[in-house]
Amino acid sequence: MVKKLSKKLENKLMNIIAKYGDEMNDFIIGCAFIRDPFITDFRNMISLVDDTELSQAVNEFMKIAHNTFRWENYLEARTTAEKTFRLFYAQCRYPEDKLEEAVKKFIISFFNENIDENLREWQEEQGKEKYPTETQTEDDIDNIQLSRFFARLSEITDEEANKDFCSRIGVRYDYEQLHMCCWFSVEITHDGGYHSRKTISYSARTSYGRLLNPRSLLWIGIVMGADRDELRAASDEMGSARDNKTKCGIVRKHVPFDEIRRLYGKMVLGESGEA
C-alpha cells in the first residue's frame, strides 16, 4: 500500500530541495518531489515505503540532478532527466534487472508532472479546482487528454519502430515527445510573454492548426500511426518550401486532423476507426 506524503515528510523534502535550489533547473525538478502523483510514482519505482529511506533517496537524486539536469530546451530536459535517473539508480545500487522499467516509469511521470503544472496554472487562472470533462467532442480531442496520450507512448505504441522512422525523415523523437506534451497542455492556459494568448483552448483540433513546427506535426502523425507513405510524401514535399507556415500546410494536407482524431479514437477509445 502506498503511503501518502505527510506534512512532516513534505517539510523534510522541501528542506532537501532548498539545499540545491540555487538554479531554476533545481527548482523545476525539485518541486515535483513535493507533489502527488510524482512522489508516489517515485516511491513505487524504487519500492521505498519508509519515509527516512525516501528522503535519503530524494537527497541523492537532487545531488545528482543539481549537476546533470537542464531545462534549456525540450530535448536537453528529456535526455538529462533520464541521465539523472540512471546515475541515481546506479549509485544507489538498485536492482539492475528493473532499471529499464523504472526509467520508463520515471519519464512518464516526468512528462505528466509538466502536464499537471499546466493544469495547476489553469486552476489558478480560472479560480476553479475541477477541470471540465465536457471538452471532449466526437470530432475533437481534449488538449490534456492528448498530452497524457503522448506521455504514455512507450506503453501503447511500438516506440522503437516510431523512433526509427523519425530518424529516417529527420524528426527528433525524444525532443518532440516532451515538446508536444508541453505544447498541448499549455494551450489550456493564457501562457505568458511572447506566447501569451487572449483565449485558452481545450481543442486539440485548434492547437494542431496553430502549430508552426512541421517536424512536430510529422511526429504526431508518426506516433498516431498515420500512413507512412503519406508522411514520407509530406517530408519530401516540405523540402521545396521556404517557410514553416507553408511546410505545416503541406503536412496537414497529407495528415489532416480528422485522420489524427480517427486514429486516436481507434487507439485510445476503442472505436472502429471506420467512417
The more confidently predicted of residues 189 and 269 is 189
Looking up cell 524504487 gives 46
Query: The dihedral of CA 86, 92, 93, 95: what is its sign?
Result: negative
For residues 219-241, give the mean pLDDT: 96
What percent of the chain has pLDDT above 90?
A: 76
* 274 has a pLDDT exceeding 80: no
Query: The dihedral of CA 257, 251, 214, 226: what is its sign?
Result: positive
The total number of residues written for the chain in this structure: 275
pTM tops 0.85: yes
For residues 157-182, give the mean pLDDT: 96
Q: Domain limits of the chain?
A: 9-117, 132-267
pLDDT digit string, tens, across residues 59-113:
999 999 999 998 888 889 999 999 999 999 999 999 999 999 999 999 999 999 9
* 275 has a pLDDT exceeding 80: no
Q: Can you give the pLDDT at residue 191?
A: 78
Eight-state DSSP code of residue 4: P
**Mean per-residue pLDDT over the chain, rounded:** 91
